[in-house]
Structure 1
Amino acid sequence: MTSYTKIKKKIRLIITRKLIIASLLISVLSSFLAISLKHTTEYLESIFFLKAANNTIYMFVFPIIGLLIIHFLRQYLFKKKENKGITEIFDATKSKNKSLPLYKIPSHFVNGLFTVAFGGSTGIEVSTVVSTAAIGAASHRKENVFRNYKTELICVGITAGITILFSSPIAGILFSMEVIAKKTNKIFFLTNIIALTIASALLLLMNEEPLFSVTITTWHFYAIPYFILLGILAGINSVFLTKMVLFFKRQYGKIASDYHKIIIGALILSLSLAEFPQLYGDGYHAMKDIFSATNPVTTLSLIATILGILILKPIVTSATLASGGDGGVFAPSLFIGAFLGLLMATILNTFFDANVIPINFMVIGMAAVLSASIHAPFTALFLVCGMINDYTLFFPILAVALIAKYTSKLIFPFTVYNYNRA
């Protein structure tokens, strides 16, 4: 071995050690940020939703208060700098000159918290992803040797954040692979395995429970044709969600006044929440309700309610985001999928005597719509299995998630993440 080779090997070893140390630090900080945002949002949302559920007037008051708070924070604290969601991460990873500034950490944390707590019909997933990505991005600015590993370090923060948020280590690293990095190498796996290990250890130490308490007993082969139909319907619903978000973004872009945007958005949101309280915030409270009542009495009123929710959810989500709310399509996709699955199972059992298991359709629907919305079937598979801490439906979920993804791509080949980059 020549002296040059020895020096080169020693330099690589030094860089690897530094990357390991940086990954450990990013993972710890991102994990604590994610768990803080998760629990703070859950706490405040539960308090505010209970108030609004008991007094409808709050359904009209909370959304406009939340959007105004976010507006004033953006104007005076964050110097009129807008949050653009995951596209900010794409810009940072694709360009050598662009990065995620540190102010993105408090900006997304606070804005995501206020959006959901005050009824904005989205989730904190994108806020978590961007703020944890900003932690990862900070490291490459501190050490010149990290400049070639910016994407890997950004993904470290994201992997830790998603792992904490959904109690699913595999989903965290898969999201970083499928959606953010698109390609991997040895450094990616080394650094991101550290992230999922640290985040998983924190979940274990804190005795974090799965988001949904669901018991899956079995699934039947005779339901396979219905699963295929669910995948196709999920793909169609995801396209509706994507197109609504893009449509509202275009239309709101024509409105000059931020206050007009806020008033219109709050009005759409408030009227919808007053009629369908299930649309409040991330909607997980409504999903828990339908999971706990898996055999509801089928009436035309129930079917009409579910249809109304499915039609309005993409609209109120789009209005929330276009009006300045911080969030994305993660929680809305899961929400739509659960209600779509419930609707389909209800109709099949009531009118066609199909004898399918409603809870299976709800769980599979969640993964299917998410897969179609973000074009990441494996992320959707492990994320949903992690949320319920059950892998009984692994193969049906995988198949339906793939069907949903390719159905949506056939109809509309873009997601809200990549439309502007096409």
Structure 2
Amino acid sequence: MKQKFYEEVTLFASVIKWTIYATIVGALAGLATACFLHSLAWTSEQLVKIPNYYFVLPLAILVSAFLVKWLAPDAAGHGTEKVIESVHKHMGRIPLKVVPVKLVATVITLACGGSAGKEGPCAQIGAGLASAFGGLLRLDNVDRKKLVICGISAGFATVFGTPVAGALFGLEVLVLGSMMYEVLFPSFVAGIIGFHVATLMGVQYQQYAAFVTPMFSGGKFLEIILLGMWCGLIALFLIETMKFSHKAFNWLPWHYTLKALFGGTLLIVIGKFLSPSYLGLGLDSIDAGLTGNVIPIGAVFWKSIATSITLGCGGSGGIVTPIFYIGVAAGNLFGQIFHEPNLAIFSALGMTALLAGAANTPIAASVMAIELFGPGIAPHAALACMVSYLIVGYRSVYPSQLLGIRKSASHKITIGMPIGEVGRTEFVTREKSLLGVVVNIMDRVRHKDDPK
């Protein structure tokens, strides 16, 4: 009896402790995210008044790359990736100077037309503040790591207004196929607090539930699976395009300033001769798709290219907002091909399914669909997200994400290694698997046809 009493007391104390810690981290992340979003909105509003404002992109990316390289190299890339790396390799230790540098560099990149997202900086800012708070309290490595994960969750929840999905994303994105349940409670607390603090600070979130009204029957089951496959292939294209862009810019024997200027010039070409809608956050195009309007066929391809160039040449920003854009465009195109009358629902499903595939976060993406578009979309979103997640295989927009499971028992692959280090997957034929049965049938037919 005494042992059970101490057990309950310990758990009670743990709940109190992590409620306090996560509340503080959530409040810090909410305040910082609100400042970032207001700064980005004001700067973008001023620059967009200037005709061809994106012509300053070469200079903007140059300044962004300079700030990151000389003031906070840990702020390089698209935010969340660096945080994942710090969690796995440095027990969540993130220099505090990353916070202001990432904020300023990202505002410069996005406001001037760089194709990137706003969630990566918020996740990195939230994680950086959480790491500093953990250092101030002199927490051990385990607790500091938990706090940083809470910071990721709070940043993601706050930037999109999805507290539950944000909490789940912060956990699910770390390891493919595995979640740290011991951090689930504080992540929920941090996400919810961060969301409410940002709301009190005047941050407003778009509501789409009125436009996305599911009207599906059982006959649409196969179509949703096809949509998931389609989004998985598009996610795979985005991942490989980003990988190629980073390798290409690293291969160029130029100074980083020339790479930034060259990348910015390529983005000007895309904006001038194709469409400015492929630059910046692309929120207008996302809104258009989610309200049932037709999106140009080339949007999937060109947004992927623009995003890869921006992040590859030294621009600062996240990747999830471009994923939303590309996912909306992919779902919209799928709906056009199948002559669907309700393009909004397919755009919404495409948006969350692409996130599930590109980031290997099917649970967070499914919950996000519910938070953004209402509970009616839940079964179809879950199905599309899971299929997209499986189709992508062992690839991710976050190379530091650890491999936690095999997506198929027929794959021979090492568990526990970063996805970016995964080489060619070895295929093992199992006798009773579907492919194993097909192979056996083909072998029998071949032997039967062979002359004796």
TM-score, length of structure 1 as denominator length: 0.85
Q: Distance in 1 between matches of 2:173 and 2:193?
A: 22
Q: Tell me, yes or no, if the aligned pair for 1:45 and 1:281 is still in contact at 8 Å.
A: no
The 1:46/1:287 distance shift into structure 2, 3 A limit, reads farther
The question of 1:83 aligning with 2:76 is answered: yes
The 1:219/1:149 distance shift into structure 2, 3 A limit, reads same
Q: Distance in 2 between matches of 1:262 and 1:164?
A: 30
Q: Distance in 2 between matches of 1:144 and 1:14?
A: 19
The question of 1:420 aligning with 2:408 is answered: no
1:269-288 matches, within 5 Å, as 269-274=267-272, 275-288=274-287
Gaps of 5+ in 1: 297-301, 350-354
Of residues 380, 396, 403 in structure 1, which corresponds to 2:380?
Answer: 396
Give the Å deviation of 1:114.
Answer: 1.3
Q: Distance in 1 between matches of 2:91 and 2:154?
A: 25
Q: Tell me, yes or no, if the aligned pair for 2:98 and 2:128 is still in contact at 8 Å.
A: yes
* Residue 225 (structure 1) aligns with: 222
- 3-state SS of the aligned residue for 1:307? coil
Of residues 314, 317, 333 in structure 1, which corresponds to 2:307?
Answer: 317
Letter in 2 for 1:329: I
The 1:97/1:398 distance shift into structure 2, 3 A limit, reads closer
Give the Å deviation of 1:207.
Answer: 6.8
The 1:16/1:313 distance shift into structure 2, 3 A limit, reads same
* Residue 136 (structure 2) aligns with: 142
The 1:96/1:205 distance shift into structure 2, 3 A limit, reads closer
Give the Å deviation of 1:35.
Answer: 1.7
Letter in 2 for 1:45: S
Give the Å deviation of 1:312.
Answer: 1.2
Question: For the aligned residues, what is the CA RMSD?
Answer: 2.8
Letter in 1 for 2:190: A
Q: Distance in 2 between matches of 1:260 and 1:381?
A: 41
Of residues 236, 249, 267 in structure 2, which corresponds to 1:239?
Answer: 236
Give the Å deviation of 1:149.
Answer: 1.3
* Residue 365 (structure 2) aligns with: 380
Q: Distance in 1 between matches of 2:362 and 2:180?
A: 18
Q: Tell me, yes or no, if the aligned pair for 1:370 and 1:380 is still in contact at 8 Å.
A: yes
Of residues 54, 73, 78 in structure 1, which corresponds to 2:67?
Answer: 73
- 3-state SS of the aligned residue for 2:215? coil
Q: Deviations over 1:308-367 (max 9, x none)?
A: 221111111011001111123211111011111222212222xxxxx4411110000001
Give the Å deviation of 1:387.
Answer: 3.6
Give the Å deviation of 1:199.
Answer: 2.2
* Residue 210 (structure 1) aligns with: 205
Give the Å deviation of 1:209.
Answer: 4.2
* Residue 245 (structure 2) aligns with: 248
* Residue 34 (structure 1) aligns with: 33
Q: Distance in 2 between matches of 1:2 and 1:310?
A: 62
1:23-422 matches, within 5 Å, as 23-51=22-50, 55-56=51-52, 58-59=53-54, 61-76=55-70, 78=71, 83-84=76-77, 85-95=79-89, 99-180=93-174, 182-186=178-182, 188-202=183-197, 205=200, 209-213=204-208, 214-221=210-217, 222-255=219-252, 256-274=254-272, 275-292=274-291, 294=292, 306-349=296-339, 355-388=340-373, 390-409=374-393, 413-417=395-399, 418=401, 419-422=419-422
Letter in 2 for 1:313: K
The 1:86/1:210 distance shift into structure 2, 3 A limit, reads closer
TM-score, length of structure 2 as denominator length: 0.79
Q: Deviations over 1:235-261 (max 9, x none)?
A: 111111000111111111122311221
- 3-state SS of the aligned residue for 1:89? helix
Give the Å deviation of 1:373.
Answer: 0.4
The 1:185/1:36 distance shift into structure 2, 3 A limit, reads same
Give the Å deviation of 1:391.
Answer: 2.6
Q: Distance in 2 between matches of 1:387 and 1:114?
A: 28
Q: Tell me, yes or no, if the aligned pair for 2:33 and 2:198 is still in contact at 8 Å.
A: no
Q: Tell me, yes or no, if the aligned pair for 2:31 and 2:198 is still in contact at 8 Å.
A: no
Q: Tell me, yes or no, if the aligned pair for 2:290 and 2:348 is still in contact at 8 Å.
A: no
Q: Distance in 1 between matches of 2:100 and 2:205?
A: 27
Gaps of 5+ in 2: 402-418, 423-452
Q: Distance in 2 between matches of 1:131 and 1:295?
A: 34
The 1:381/1:98 distance shift into structure 2, 3 A limit, reads closer
Q: Distance in 1 between matches of 2:355 and 2:293?
A: 24
Q: Tell me, yes or no, if the aligned pair for 2:57 and 2:268 is still in contact at 8 Å.
A: yes
Give the Å deviation of 1:374.
Answer: 0.1
Give the Å deviation of 1:127.
Answer: 0.8
Q: Deviations over 1:147-170 (max 9, x none)?
A: 321221012212221121111111
Q: Which runs of 4+ in 1 moved over 6 A?
A: 8-16
Q: Tell me, yes or no, if the aligned pair for 1:329 and 1:373 is still in contact at 8 Å.
A: no
Q: Distance in 1 between matches of 2:308 and 2:116?
A: 9
| Identity percentage of aligned residues | 20
- 3-state SS of the aligned residue for 2:375? coil
The 1:45/1:223 distance shift into structure 2, 3 A limit, reads farther
- 3-state SS of the aligned residue for 1:393? helix
The 1:144/1:18 distance shift into structure 2, 3 A limit, reads farther
The 1:68/1:207 distance shift into structure 2, 3 A limit, reads closer
Letter in 1 for 2:161: S
Q: Tell me, yes or no, if the aligned pair for 2:369 and 2:378 is still in contact at 8 Å.
A: no
Q: Distance in 1 between matches of 2:25 and 2:122?
A: 14
Give the Å deviation of 1:49.
Answer: 3.3
- 3-state SS of the aligned residue for 2:310? helix
Q: Distance in 1 between matches of 2:293 and 2:188?
A: 41
Letter in 2 for 1:150: R
